């Protein structure tokens, strides 16, 4: 089914955002939706117990979204994985094989939306349902509020349930989503601020992470990491290039001297990139030999925006599907006007992708070697560590002359501070984790300082 025109989609989403500014009324009665002969999804007014005929379970408290501001979902990849494991185990259990299995929510509208996303995505992934079919089932007896961005302002873009289900299907199709080799402990470890604050968006291709700092320390409650802290992980996972989108906080040579390419494509925190930056980003990624690590200040807004552009060009995702998948992998990504920007770029990037694939096909048919990959526009790309095409000191200063980002707290600073604080609240061992982090920075200089905490 063809999507609306570019302008129409943007206006339609803005209108729906305005209409959803206040919560919809709670269901006046219990709602049961049959997913399969055995499996049901229910939206209830209060909790229910299992009986001889039915097995009931709820994850409203077990799997809770950690918000930045007004955002509330979708739940991240680890939570989706844990839900799938739980439900699959129940469906395979001999002891309840004759019972109806009821996955229910009795939470508010936000909990209902996340529960519907979980069961709908499960149906797409494990029951081989098309996203549209799963969505039709879920909305047949109930409606769900759309997800929104991680900002504190007025919502200007809705991400609906079908967008999320379609994103899951595309991720399955392209091999980005494969729970047979998914390490949930690793995902949850590295997404934490003290462990690097990083997530794979496309495994083996794009890693999004929080911007490195000149030296490892804790600032405003947020653990900051020096470039060297990431190098072992990058080498292990075949990352060959780093792209920096924020101002220069560290010397790029700390990556280049370790064998990584380093590219600077600065644009202001919270803003959208110009066409030149988008073109340069795509060229870098299309010619990278290995995976690419992308960061801005928090690794959410600018980072997600450009990765989303690549996904639309090379995988023909809709803007909404790209935003949905990136947020499932890295919650809080793509914020405010960046959402509308991605949607406005959709059709143009689709067309560019068609041309790119046609050219690549022609090159292969003509017997051209892989070294002749698309290189148009590469000449003006800035690669740190090389004197060629390096800007002068004056040009360099002009490029990073954004006063707020240089001297004040920006959106990225606030978002990553919030992430660190919420993770500390959610972890019973948060104090000990901070102590361990501090001790690791001290190394062998003050080993005795760490002893009291190890008792």
- Tens of pLDDT, residue by residue over 107-133, are 899 999 999 999 999 999 999 999 999
Give the chain's mean pLDDT. 85
The answer on pLDDT for 34 being more than 60 is yes
Distances (CA, A) of 112 to 35, 41, 115: 16, 10, 5
So what's the pLDDT on residue 364?
Answer: 85
User: How far from chain centre, in Å, is Cα 282?
Assistant: 19
Crossing angle, helix 109-126 and helix 77-92, to 10 degrees? 60
- Tens of pLDDT, residue by residue over 138-188, are 999 999 999 999 998 899 999 999 999 999 999 999 999 999 999 999 999
Round to whole Å and give the CA distance between 322 and 9.
15
Confidence of residue 411 (pLDDT cuts 50, 70, 90): confident
Q: What is the mean pLDDT of residues 5-25?
A: 50
Residues 6 or more apart whose CB falls under 8 angstroms from that of 308 comprise: 319, 322, 323, 326, 334, 342
**Domain architecture of the chain: domains with CATH:** 28-175 (3.90.190.10), 195-365 (3.90.190.10)
Round to whole Å and give the CA distance between 247 and 401.
9
The answer on pLDDT for 348 being more than 80 is yes
Round to whole Å and give the CA distance between 426 and 368.
54
Burial 366-386 (b: 16+ CB within 10 A, else e): eeeeeeeeeeeebeebbbbee
> % helix / strand / coil in the chain, to the nearest 5?
50, 10, 40
- Tens of pLDDT, residue by residue over 256-299, are 999 999 999 999 999 999 999 999 999 999 999 999 999 999 99
Q: What is the mean pLDDT of residues 37-48?
A: 97
Could you give phi then psi for residue 302, rounded to 5 degrees? -65, -40
So what's the pLDDT on residue 83?
Answer: 99
Confidence of residue 11 (pLDDT cuts 50, 70, 90): low
Residues 6 or more apart whose CB falls under 8 angstroms from that of 154 comprise: 17, 21
Round to whole Å and give the CA distance between 415 and 418.
5
More confident residue, 76 or 445: 76
The answer on pLDDT for 420 being more than 80 is no
The answer on pLDDT for 455 being more than 60 is no
Catalytic residues: 296
């Amino acid at each position: 089914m063809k999507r609306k025109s570019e302008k129409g989609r943007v206006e339609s989403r803005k209108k729906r955002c305005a209409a959803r500014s206040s919560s919809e009324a709670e269901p006046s009665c219990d709602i049961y939706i049959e997913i399969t002969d055995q499996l049901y999804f229910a939206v209830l007014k209060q909790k229910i117990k299992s009986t001889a005929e039915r097995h009931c379970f709820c994850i409203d408290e077990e799997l809770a979204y950690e918000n930045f501001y007004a955002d509330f979902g979708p739940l991240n990849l680890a939570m989706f994985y844990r839900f799938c494991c739980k439900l699959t185990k129940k469906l395979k259990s001999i002891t309840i094989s004759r019972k109806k299995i009821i996955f229910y929510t009795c939470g508010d509208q936000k909990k209902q939306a996340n529960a519907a996303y979980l069961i709908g995505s499960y149906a797409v992934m494990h029951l081989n349902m098309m996203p549209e079919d799963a969505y039709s089932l879920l909305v047949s007896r109930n409606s769900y509020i759309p997800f929104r961005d991680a900002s504190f302002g007025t919502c200007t873009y809705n991400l609906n349930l079908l967008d999320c289900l379609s994103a899951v299907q595309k991720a399955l199709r392209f091999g980005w989503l494969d729970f047979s080799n998914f390490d949930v402990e690793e995902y949850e470890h590295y997404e934490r601020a003290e462990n690097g604050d990083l997530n794979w968006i496309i495994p083996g291709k794009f890693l999004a992470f929080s911007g490195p700092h000149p030296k490892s320390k804790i600032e405003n409650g947020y653990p900051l990491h020096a470039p060297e802290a990431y190098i072992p992980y990058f080498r292990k996972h075949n990352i060959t290039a780093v792209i920096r989108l924020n101002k220069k906080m560290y010397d790029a040579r700390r990556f280049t001297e370790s064998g990584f390419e380093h590219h600077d494509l600065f644009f202001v925190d919270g803003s959208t990139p110009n066409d030149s930056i988008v073109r340069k980003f795509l060229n870098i990624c299309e010619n990278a030999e290995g995976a690419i690590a992308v960061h801005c200040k928090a690794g959410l807004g600018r980072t997600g925006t450009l990765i989303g552009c690549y996904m639309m060009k090379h995988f023909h995702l809709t803007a909404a599907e790209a935003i949905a998948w990136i947020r499932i992998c890295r919650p809080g990504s793509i914020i405010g006007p960046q959402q509308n920007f991605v949607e406005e770029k959709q059709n143009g990037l689709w067309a560019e992708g068609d041309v790119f694939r046609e050219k690549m096909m022609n090159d292969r048919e003509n017997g051209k070697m892989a070294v002749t990959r698309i290189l148009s526009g590469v000449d003006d790309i800035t690669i740190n560590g090389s004197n060629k095409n390096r800007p002068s000191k004056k040009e360099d200063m002009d490029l990073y002359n954004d006063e707020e980002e240089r001297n004040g707290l920006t959106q990225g600073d606030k978002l990553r501070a919030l992430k660190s604080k919420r993770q500390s609240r959610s972890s019973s061992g948060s104090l000990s984790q901070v102590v361990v982090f501090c001790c690791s920075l001290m190394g062998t200089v003050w080993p005795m300082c760490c002893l009291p905490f190890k008792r």
